[in-house]
Each structure stands twice: as C-alpha cells, then as structure tokens.
Amino acid sequence: MTTTTTTSSTYRGSAAVEKEQRQQGRAGGAYSSSARRRPAEAAARAPASAPASASASASSASRRSRTLLGSASLFLVLLSLQLLLLPSSANAIKFELSAHHSSHQKCIWNYALSDTLVVVTINAVPSSSPDALTTTAPADSDPLMQLDIEIVDGSHHNNVYLSKKAIRGETRMAINTHSHADLGVCLKNTLSKEVREHDAEKHKYLIDLDVDIGAEAVDYNAIANQESLSGLDTEMRKLEAVAKEILDEMEYLKKREMKMRDTNEVTSQRVQNFAWITLIALIGLGAWQILHLRSFFKRKYLID
C-alpha cells in the first residue's frame, strides 16, 4: 500500500513538472514570436517614415537653394550699381600730335545722344618741354606751332559746336548736342612757315584729352556743396542721372529699331511687287511672242 502511494505521488510530481515545463515553453515561444514581430513592425514602419524624411530634406534643399539664389542676385545688383557709379576712363586719351604745314586734322569720335551735356578738357604741352611727360601743368606754347580745336558732329546737319584757335595749356569746354550722332573733337597743329618740313618731327604737342558725356560731365561735388547733400544723396543723384541716361538710350534704340523695321518691311514689299511685275511681264512677253510667231507662220502658209 505504501509502495502504491509513493508511486502515485511520484507520478503526480512528474506530471506537475511536465506541465510547468510546457507552460514555460509556451511563454518562451510567445516571447520569441513577439521578438520576431518587432523587427517586422519596424521594417513596416520604415517605408512610411521614408517619404516624410525625403520631403523634409527636399524642402531644406530648396530653402538653401533659394537663399543662395537670393544672395547671388543681391551680389549681382550691388556689383552692377558699383560698375555704373565707377568713373569711365574710355573717353580719356593721351597722344602726340605732330605739326604740319598743311591743314592736317586728327579727330577723336564719341557717340552722344541729342540734348546731352558734353565737357571736353584738353591739356596741350609741347613735347619738347622738359616737364611734358611728367606733369600736366600748363607750359608755354611753342611759338613755331599753333594748336586749333574744333568740335563737330557727324549728323547730316554737320553741326559745328565750338572752334578755338591757338589754345595752350589746359582748356575746358562745355557744349550741348543737337542731334543723335558721333561727336568729333578735331585738333590741328599748324607748323610755322619758318620751319622746314623735314624738321617738323621735332615740333609736337603732347595732348591729354578727356571727353565726359552725359552724367559723367556733371560736377556732383559742386552740386553737393551747393545743396548741402550727404555722400549717400550725392551717390543717389549720380545713380538717378545714369539710370535716366540708360533709359534715354534704350528709348533711342527702340525708335531706331522701329525705323529699321519699317525700312525692312517697305523694302520687302517693294521686292515682292517687283517680282510680281517681272513675272507678269515675262508671261505677257511670252504670250506676245507666241501670237506673233503664229501670225508669221500663217502669213508664210506654214500653218493653217
């Protein structure tokens, strides 16, 4: 009896142990399955968050590009304004002018619009002067040479704005143009009859010529002193004058373009009319030749 009880208790104990092991196994399987599900859920959530991160990076890139474009455009605007305000040196020239017995002229041409202020500054120094190449201060003129200046334009009116004889040292002249045309500053260095022609190369003038046109010809320092303008106001006044000059030039180019377009259209119409007239004349001449030959052959009884 005792043996049977011990055996049954032993059996119950082993059964309890097996039940506990099965429960632990199910718990472990549940934990492993949940652990296996977590990477899958993470992988499933990853594609959903990828478009959001991509859009965020794209928006930040677009913001950066807009910022760079804005900075570049601002830099270009400032650079353009600075270039507009820089003094132009393209109209300044220095050269030697030889003397001649004949009326030999040397002209420097610059284009100018109508009703534009032009200031011509010339400094003439005899090249034989010891300070001719080192200073721009006025020197005594050579009595064997006479320097004359004339300011003209290349329009069909052939306007002569100014003419001066026997200039010496530094001379400043201001004119207002009357036409849209090339403006010429013509210089003539006449050699005295006392000098032989083969000695003419020894007599020269060193010419320093400066031609200021439009906004460059205005003395803004004097205007600032007269109207008590600040530095910024003076620069804005310069910029306003330059902008007005550019607008006037664009308007002039627009008018020229319209005029040239009208000329092209008229020329094209004339060519077309001439082509039609030529074609009609050829057809008429061919018909007349056919009729004339037909009547001729009939008179000769070659055809019925």
The CATH number that applies at residue 151 is 2.60.120.680
**Could you give the angle at the alpha carbon of 168 between the alpha carbons of 163 and 174, nearest 5°?**
45
Helix, strand, coil % over all residues of the chain, rounded to 5? 55, 25, 20
Residue 204 lies in a domain: yes
Residue 17 lies in a domain: no
Range of the structural domain that residue 146 is part of: 93-217
pLDDT above 90 for 45: no
Question: Which has more confidence, 113 or 68?
Answer: 113
Residue 219 φ/ψ region, left for φ over 0, alpha for ψ in the -120 to 50 degree band, beta for the rest: beta
Question: Of 92-101, 136-145, 177-186, which range is least confident?
Answer: 136-145
Give the confidence band of 276 by pLDDT, cuts at 50, 70, 90: very high
Tell me how far apart the alpha carbons of residues 117 and 114 are, in angstroms, rounded to a whole number.
Answer: 9
Residue 179 lies in a domain: yes
Residues in contact with 128: Cβ distance below 8 Å, sequence separation at least 6, in sequence order: 142, 202, 203, 204
Q: What are the tens digits of pLDDT across the range 17-36? A: 455 556 555 544 444 444 44
Percent of the chain, pLDDT > 70? Answer: 63
**DSSP class of residue 137?**
S
How many domains does the chain fold into?
A: 1
Residue 34 lies in a domain: no
Give the confidence band of 59 by pLDDT, cuts at 50, 70, 90: low
Residue 252 lies in a domain: no
Residue 208 lies in a domain: yes
Q: Are the CB atoms for 175 and 213 separated by under 8 Å?
A: no
Query: Once rounded to an integer, what is the mean pLDDT over residues 61-87?
Result: 54
pLDDT above 90 for 115: no
Percent of the chain, pLDDT > 90? Answer: 21
Query: Once rounded to an integer, what is the mean pLDDT over residues 101-108?
Result: 83
Q: How far is CA 153 from the centre of its chain?
A: 27
Give the confidence band of 302 by pLDDT, cuts at 50, 70, 90: confident
Query: Once rounded to an integer, what is the mean pLDDT over residues 113-121?
Result: 89
**DSSP class of residue 195?**
S
Query: Once rounded to an integer, what is the mean pLDDT over residues 36-43?
Result: 46
**DSSP class of residue 100?**
B
Question: Which has more confidence, 71 or 241?
Answer: 241
Query: Once rounded to an integer, what is the mean pLDDT over residues 163-190?
Result: 89
Name, of 21-35, 84-98, 181-195, 285-299, the range with top average pLDDT.
Answer: 285-299
pLDDT above 90 for 4: no
pLDDT of 198 reads 66
pLDDT of 20 reads 57
Report yes or no on whether pTM surpasses 0.85.
Answer: no
Q: Which amino acid is at 202?
A: K
Token pair 């010419």 in the structure block, residue: 207
pLDDT of 57 reads 59
pLDDT of 141 reads 62
Residue 223 lies in a domain: no
pLDDT of 138 reads 44
pLDDT of 227 reads 83
Residue 211 burial by CB count (10 A; 0-12/13-18/19+): exposed, middle or buried? buried
Q: What are the tens digits of pLDDT across the range 280-295? A: 999 999 999 999 999 9
Residue 150 lies in a domain: yes
Structure tokens at 18: 């097996």
